[in-house]
Chains A and B, each alone.
Chain A
Amino acid sequence: MLRYPELLAWEMLWTDSLRETYAAIYKQVKDAKPSLGVGWHIWHTNSFNPIYRAEQDLAAIAPVSDFLKIVIYHNCGGERMAEYIESVQQTLYGDVPQQELLDFHYRVLDYKEKNLAEIPFTGLSADYVLRETKRARAGLEGTKTQLWPGIDIDIPTAANHSKCTPEGTRDAVLAAFRGGADGVILSRKYSEMKLANLKGARLALQELGLT
């Protein structure tokens, strides 16, 4: 990076191109019908990769974002975090033991989750959803953009890894609203959701007095 600053310049070229695409879509829709809402799905890598997270300047994209779906998938998050740590331990952080690397990421990303051997089998907690929602809320401070976290309901994981439960859905939805969300998006697709786990969302809404 010191010898080739073009590496980061090329990275930002890509990121700015993505943001310009957001702006172009936003303008196209508003020109067609100003009353329509326009927003973006910010994918799960935002929860793992500090480099990608640093590029997600929510305030910068807020002027072209009526809403943001920040992916905060708690259950599959454990498996995915473990995979992420394994991937970067092979390259950028080759000399760092994996658990130490995970601890470093927890510190940088502000998570308090279980250790590397456990998270594929437990998923990430509702506390992760709470922290990520609060962080996104802070990132949108002073804007009018609605914050709608994406909630994991039965997103596939490996056969012996953590699976969603009604209580897990309930706690994730509770955490999202307690973290300042304006709504939630139950994800990824109805055709993979068990009805009992979907009903967990209703339990949360009842507990919050929202239904």
Chain B
Amino acid sequence: MSKPSEFHNARIDEPWAASGAEFVSTEDRDASTRTAGTTNAADSISNSQRLIIYWKGKETHGEPSMVNLDRRAFLQSAAATALTASMPATMQGEAPAATTKMIGIQVGAVSFVDEGADKVLDEFQRDAAINTLFLATFTYGRGIAGRQVPGQPLPDHGKQEYDTSTFYGGNYATIHPQYYKNTVFQGTRATDLGDYDVLEAVLPAARKRGIKTICWFEDVFRKDLPNIDQLQEKELSGQNATTLCFNNPNYRNFLLGIVDDWSHSYEIDGVMWGSERQGPFSNALGASAGGRTNNPHNVTCFCQFCEAKAKGRGINPERARQGFVELAKFVDAGR
């Protein structure tokens, strides 16, 4: 395994690192506080200086960085800032100055398609000083992708119609097949936005603004995908579940393939993955915040890979099955 310290050590120069505060003196912080909604030109210049400090030492991936601004460019920038500083910041519609804290937002591809990358990024910087995108790059769920969920009021931006009939989900970036050789799970390209590649479309615009991009994905899948039956968990009853098994090599290799693909194919800044699932014991008890009533007979996973892993730990799968059957009877009786 790679040393965890590699990222941790490098991270000191990342804008989301708390330790990045070493670049920001108390004076800078005081200045930035005053600048929010102020009219003082000197404060605005401090902001420009602060941006440079903020980016000092950062990897630039070939993009011109603030730290490379020459003196002339800096003075031009400062002068331009001073000219506009007589207006309140809210009237200018300016983005607030950068912060040393990570300020992220989750956003799906459809927002950039509907509203345009620059408009969305303008809004993010202006409204909330966003410096990191958590881009829903892969999911079949509506919780992090697609427009507003049906039945909920549409927000005050974006297309004013639901995408109920068009949302499909999948990978909103280009699939590079060489990274998926070790899984039967293929063909996950999202089709609801045509051949739109959200990473290709958004990364350059984000990077130009100094906004980082994290590929955000979750283990939510459709039931009708090719070969997905070979990745699904097995319920206590022996039926396939709709959820996928972490111990199934086809699923594990799919997850590894997709992060390998993004890491090699795009200039991203990281990945975040989430599994909104819990183990069989809580599921059997019906412990749920989603208003669902779990069927205790459907708990997972009793596939060949899980049973082999259990045996390796000295756990008897048959005894586990019997235990969950008894627990299901207890739960049924309580309801």
Take A182-B102, A210-B129 as given contacts and tell me if A7 and B281 are in contact as well, using a CB distance cutoff of 8 Å.
yes
Q: Are A40 and B274 in contact (CB under 8 A)?
A: yes
Q: Which of A132-159 contact B (CB under 8 A)?
A: 144, 146, 148, 154, 156
Q: Which B5-34 residues have a C-beta within 8 angstroms of A?
A: 5-8, 10-11, 14, 16-18, 29-30, 32-33
The answer on a CB contact under 8 Å between B2 and A30 is yes
A11 to B129, CA, bound (A): 41
Q: In whole angstroms, what is the CA distance A79 to B127 when docked?
A: 27
Per-position binary interface string of chain A over residues 26-48, scored 1 when its CB falls under 8 Å from any chain B CB and 0 otherwise:
11111111111111111111001
Residues of B within 8 A of A20 (CB): 246
A6 CB contacts on chain B under 8 angstroms = 315-316, 319-320, 323
Q: Is the CB of A41 within 8 A of B274?
A: yes
A97 at the B interface (CB under 8 A): no
Cβ–Cβ contact A87 & B293, under 8 A: yes
Q: How far is the CB of B146 from the nearest CB of chain A, in Å?
A: 7
Residue-wise, chain B 241-283 has the 8 Å CB interface mask toward A (1 for contact) of: 0000011000010011001100110001111111110111110
Could you say which residues of chain B place their CB within 8 Å of the CB of A206? 33, 36-37, 96
Any chain A CB within 8 A of the CB of B1?
A: yes
Please, how many angstroms separate the alpha-carbon atoms of A177 and B155 in the complex? 27
Q: How far is the CB of B269 from chain A (nearest CB, A)?
A: 6
Inter-chain contact A191/B147, CB cutoff 8 Å: yes
Q: Distance in Å from the Cβ of B162 to the closest Cβ of chain A? A: 11
Whether B32 pairs with A192 at a CB distance below 8 angstroms is: no
Q: Is the CB of A154 within 8 A of B323?
A: no
Q: Indicate the size class of the contact surface on chain A.
A: 35 or more
Contact string against A for B residues 144-171, beta-carbon threshold 8 Å, 1 for contact and 0 otherwise: 1111110110011110000000000000
The distance from the CB of B241 to the nearest CB of chain A, in whole angstroms, is 12
Task: Assess A36 versus B7: contact at CB under 8 Å? Given A6-B316, A7-B327, A156-B152.
Answer: yes
Q: Is the CB of A83 within 8 A of B289?
A: yes
> Could you jot down 24 A-B contacts, CB within 8 Å?
A6-B319, A7-B320, A7-B323, A13-B315, A21-B252, A24-B252, A25-B255, A25-B259, A26-B4, A28-B259, A30-B1, A32-B264, A38-B271, A52-B287, A64-B1, A80-B289, A90-B334, A90-B335, A183-B103, A183-B104, A185-B134, A191-B108, A193-B155, A210-B129
Main SS of the interface on chain A?
Answer: helix
Task: Using CB atoms, name the residue of chain B closest to A8.
Answer: B281
Which residue of chain A has the shortest Cβ distance to B155 in the bound complex?
Answer: A194
A80–B269 Cα distance when bound, in Å, is 33
**Do A35 and B7 have beta carbons less than 8 Å apart?**
yes
